[in-house]
Amino acid sequence: MKKSEDLKNVHKPVMIKEVLNEAPRGKNKVVVDCTFGLGGHSFCVIERLEDSIVVGIDVDEETVDVAFDIARKKGFVVLGPAHANLHGWKLCDNKKNTLYLVKRNFSDLNEILDVLEIDEVNLAIFDLGFSTFQLMFSRRGFSYCGEEELLDQRYDRNCGYKACDLVNSLSRDALALIFRECGERKYAEAIAKAIASARKIKPIETNIELSKIIRKAVRYRSGGKYFKDIGKHPAMRCFLALRIIVNNEILSLSTALPQALEHLVAGSGGKLIVITFNSLEKQAVLNFLKNHEDAELLYEKKPSLREVAENPSSRSAVMYVIGKRDV
């Protein structure tokens, strides 16, 4: 498949060295990658394992299909469906490791592990946000520049509202609130006003249409100084806000973290890793830590300067390493 071949050169798992430092080795381990994507983290982790289980979960069916193709190219053998009650595949490698690829939202983690009869987990990984594959190949309007695409932004195309549905139907005040919540505090009202005016003329259908409306609104309000002042595209935070709302990301994360902790091995034998990329994700992690006394923040870390230089998409990443106390 051409997509999987192209992604060999562009897909770089964030903070992979730091993740591997916390990953288990040896036999009879269980790893759950709640944001499997194309397996950038998990395929590295599984190389250190033998006779173990890796559960890869992703809500994006197209991503799961490409990950399946990559696994087969790496020599994994298909054993059959993941389970009668799960959509996905069960594969194995030459070291007797079992890989489950499951198309599901990670907020259903308890149900997935129950179906697979998994009680304890040595490592759970959440690498949040969209992937390189989704940005470059899915044609769902995640990017505010580049090629013109339908403003969809859903990870799961089979359910929920598209981003263009929200842009064309939500009130001006509701849009402004969404943009403010994701950090676009200074120009949220002006952007919402511009969107409300533009959609009266014609529905906003593509990423580039929305990006141009936002850029024009912000430049008008800022006297053309926006790019110089903050060095970021004026549509960046608005696109982030829409993606988070469309995919219900913060609620899903807040639901999944306690489930991951519930199954985590207590003490040094279990680690929960969460890699965040924006303030809302960070706050969800901090709230989780505050509300669960058995969750212990071991440390948090940012990517090295070298990694940021080599992989600019990692620049806003923060990795939280969490353990489980015996209480």
Query: What's the pLDDT score for residue 200?
Result: 98
> 12 and 122 share a domain?
yes
Query: 26: annotated binding-site residue?
Result: no
Phi, psi torsion values for 184, nearest 5 degrees: -90, 65
26 three-state secondary structure: strand
Phi, psi torsion values for 269, nearest 5 degrees: -80, -5
> 8 and 107 share a domain?
yes
> 257 and 124 share a domain?
yes
> 254 and 122 share a domain?
yes
Number of structural domains the chain divides into? 2
150 part of a folded domain = no
> 215 and 316 share a domain?
no
Query: 39: annotated binding-site residue?
Result: yes
140 part of a folded domain = no
For 99-134, write each residue's pLDDT tens digit: 999 999 999 999 999 999 999 999 999 999 888 788
Provide the residue range defining the domain that includes 119: 2-133+249-324
Query: 134: annotated binding-site residue?
Result: yes
pLDDT over 50 at 252, yes or no? yes
List, in sequence order, the alpha helices (H) in 39-100. Answer: 42-46, 61-73
Query: 127: annotated binding-site residue?
Result: yes
For 19-34, write each residue's pLDDT tens digit: 999 999 999 999 999 9
Query: What's the pLDDT score for residue 229?
Result: 46
Query: What's the pLDDT score for residue 220?
Result: 58
- At residue 228 the predicted structure's pLDDT band, cuts being 50, 70 and 90, is very low
pLDDT, averaged across the chain: 92
pLDDT over 70 at 9, yes or no? no
What is d(CA 67, CA 59) in angstroms, rounded to the nearest whole number? 12
Total-model pTM: 0.93
